[in-house]
Amino acid sequence: MQQWRDVKSRHPDALVFFRVGDFYEFFNQDAEEGARLLGLTLTSRNNGSAGDVPLAGVPAKALDDYLARLVRLGRRVAICEQVEDPAEAKGIVRREVVEMVTPGTVLHDALLEPARNVWVAALVADGAHGVGAAALDLSTGQWELSLVARDHLRSELARLQPAELVVTEAFAATLPDPEADGGPLRTLRPEWIFHPDGAREELERTFGVHSLEGLGFQEADTALIRAAGALLHYVRETQPAGIGHLAVPRIHRSRTVMLLDEMTVRNLELVEPLRPGPGGATLLSVVDRTCTPMGARMLRWWVLHPRVDAAEIWARQEAVAHLHEDTRLRETVRDALAKVGDLERIAGRLGTERASPRELRALARALARIEPLPDHLSGASAPRLEGLRAALDPLSDVRERLERALAEDPPAQVGDGGVLREGYDDELDELRRTRDGAVDFIASLQARERARTGIGSLKVGYNRVFGYYLEVTHAHSAKVPDDYVRKQTLANAERYFTPELKQWEEKVANAEDRIQSLEARLFGELRRALAGEVPRLQRTSRAVAELDVVASLAEVARACGYVRPEVHTGFDLDIRAGRHPVVETMMAREDFIPNDVRLDDERRVVILTGPNMAGKSTVLRQVGLIQLLAQMGSFVPADQARLPVADRIFTRVGASDNLVRGQSTFMVEMTETSAILHGASAASLVLLDEIGRGTSTYDGVSIAWAVSEHLHERVGAKTIFATHYHELTQLPDLLPAARNMNVVVREVGEDVVFLRRLEEGGADRSYGIQVARLAGLPLDVVARAREILADLEGTHTAGGEGLGRHGAHRPASQAPPDQLVLDLAEPALLAELRSIDVERMTPLEALNLLGGWVERARGRP
Q: Give the binding site for ligand ADP (CB under 6 A).
A: 583, 591-593, 610, 612-618, 756
Nearer to ligand ADP, 583 or 676 (CB): 583
Per-position DSSP letters for 654-721, written without gaps between them: TT---GGGTS-HHHHHHHHHHHHHHH--TT-EEEEESTTTTS-HHHHHHHHHHHHHHIIIII--EEEE
Task: Determine the 3-state secondary structure of 388 from DSSP.
Answer: helix
Q: How far is the CB of 809 from ligand ADP (least distance, A)?
A: 17
Greatest alpha-carbon pair distance for the chain in Å reads 138
Residue 540 found at the interface with Mg ion (CB under 5 A): no
Phi, psi of 836 (to 5 degrees): -75, 135
Nearer to ligand ADP, 589 or 784 (CB): 589
Nearer to ligand ADP, 615 or 654 (CB): 615
Nearer to ligand ADP, 289 or 693 (CB): 693
Q: How far is the CB of 764 from ligand ADP (least distance, A)?
A: 15
Whole-number Å distance between alpha carbons of 768 and 770: 6
Binding residue for Mg ion, selected from 540, 595, 617, 708, defined by CB under 5 A: 617
CA 313, 314, 319, 324 dihedral sign is: positive
- Binding site partner of 610, from ligand ADP, Mg ion, none, Cβ cut-off 5-8 A by kind: ligand ADP
- Binding site partner of 615, from ligand ADP, Mg ion, none, Cβ cut-off 5-8 A by kind: ligand ADP
Note the Cα 526 to chain centre separation in Å: 34
- Binding site partner of 613, from ligand ADP, Mg ion, none, Cβ cut-off 5-8 A by kind: ligand ADP
Nearer to ligand ADP, 389 or 621 (CB): 621
Query: Taking contact as CB under 5 A, which single stretch among the options 17-25, 254-262, 613-621, 639-647 is the one that binds Mg ion?
Result: 613-621
Residue 782: its H or E element: helix 779-798
Query: Taking contact as CB under 5 A, which single stretch among the options 380-388, 538-546, 614-622, 797-805 is the one that binds Mg ion?
Result: 614-622
Q: How far is the CB of 655 from ligand ADP (least distance, A)?
A: 12
Task: Determine the 3-state secondary structure of 209 from DSSP.
Answer: coil
Nearer to Mg ion, 264 or 617 (CB): 617
Whole-number Å distance between alpha carbons of 456 and 137: 65
Query: Taking contact as CB under 5 A, which single stretch among the options 295-303, 612-620, 731-739, 782-790 is the one that binds Mg ion?
Result: 612-620
Closest by Cα among 634, 560, 554, 547 to 592? 560
Helix 327-338 vs helix 310-325: crossing angle, to nearest 10: 100
- Binding site partner of 469, from ligand ADP, Mg ion, none, Cβ cut-off 5-8 A by kind: none
List the beta bridge partners of residue 747. 752
CA 222, 224, 227, 232 dihedral sign is: negative
- Binding site partner of 361, from Mg ion, ligand ADP, none, Cβ cut-off 5-8 A by kind: none
Q: How far is the CB of 781 from Mg ion (least distance, A)?
A: 23
Q: How far is the CB of 613 from ligand ADP (least distance, A)?
A: 5
Q: How far is the CB of 767 from ligand ADP (least distance, A)?
A: 11
- Binding site partner of 612, from ligand ADP, Mg ion, none, Cβ cut-off 5-8 A by kind: ligand ADP
Cβ-based neighbours of 417, under 8 Å, separated by 6 or more? 411, 512, 515, 516, 519
Nearer to ligand ADP, 588 or 824 (CB): 588
List the beta bridge partners of residue 125. 131
What is the side-by-side order of every strand in the sheet holding 459-463? 459-463, 467-473, 493-497, 485-489
Whole-number Å distance between alpha carbons of 725 and 722: 9
Nearer to ligand ADP, 312 or 759 (CB): 759
Whole-number Å distance between alpha carbons of 524 and 377: 36
Decide if 593 contacts 752 (C-beta within 8 A).
no
Residue 16: count of CB within 10 angstroms of its CB: 24
Nearer to ligand ADP, 618 or 730 (CB): 618
Phi, psi of 195 (to 5 degrees): -65, 135
- Binding site partner of 756, from Mg ion, ligand ADP, none, Cβ cut-off 5-8 A by kind: ligand ADP
Q: How far is the CB of 631 from ligand ADP (least distance, A)?
A: 23
Print the binding letters for residues 459-478 with Mg ion: x by CB under 5 A, - otherwise: --------------------
Phi, psi of 719 (to 5 degrees): -135, 135
Nearer to Mg ion, 267 or 617 (CB): 617
Nearer to ligand ADP, 38 or 613 (CB): 613
Q: How far is the CB of 724 from Mg ion (least distance, A)?
A: 8
Q: How far is the CB of 803 from ligand ADP (least distance, A)?
A: 23
How many helices and strands in the chain, by DSSP H and E?
Answer: 28, 26
Q: How far is the CB of 69 from ligand ADP (least distance, A)?
A: 37
Query: Taking contact as CB under 5 A, which single stretch among the options 111-119, 458-466, 615-623, 741-749 is the one that binds Mg ion?
Result: 615-623
Q: List helix spans (H) across 62-152.
A: 63-72
- Binding site partner of 592, from Mg ion, ligand ADP, none, Cβ cut-off 5-8 A by kind: ligand ADP
Nearer to ligand ADP, 216 or 768 (CB): 768
Footprint on this chain of Mg ion (rule: CB under 5 A): 617
